[in-house]
């Protein structure tokens, strides 16, 4: 196997791991909201602040910023979908 193919597969493995971690993180946050262990306003403020930090971080590449914002947006969207489905208050 060529070095490029090995590198591509390594990147794909890491991408899969990060995707699974994101899914777990979203599940934990939604469950914590459902059990009222954390406050929705606080977690939404944290997500918004995180987005601002990533958007204004000049040390990150555009791709890194895109990925970080996509993850935080996904968490916010999951919370909204769970709220719309009346799974959380």
Q: Residue ranges of the domains in the chain?
A: 3-84
- CA–CA dist 22, 8 (Å, integer): 21
pLDDT at 32 over 90: yes
Q: Write out pLDDT tens, residues 34-75.
A: 999 999 999 999 999 999 999 999 999 999 999 999 999 999
Q: What's the pLDDT at 49?
A: 97
What is the rounded end-to-end Cα distance, in angstroms, of the chain?
A: 52
Whole-model pTM? Answer: 0.81
């Amino acid at each position: 196997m060529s070095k490029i193919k090995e590198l591509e597969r390594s990147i794909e493995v890491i991408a899969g791991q990060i995707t699974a971690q994101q899914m777990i993180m979203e599940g934990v946050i939604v469950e914590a909201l459902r059990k009222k262990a954390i406050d929705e306003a606080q977690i939404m403020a944290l997500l918004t602040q995180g987005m601002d930090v990533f958007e204004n971080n000049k040390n990150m590449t555009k791709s890194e910023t895109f990925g970080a914002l996509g993850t935080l947006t996904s968490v916010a969207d999951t919370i909204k979908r769970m709220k719309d489905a009346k799974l959380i208050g």
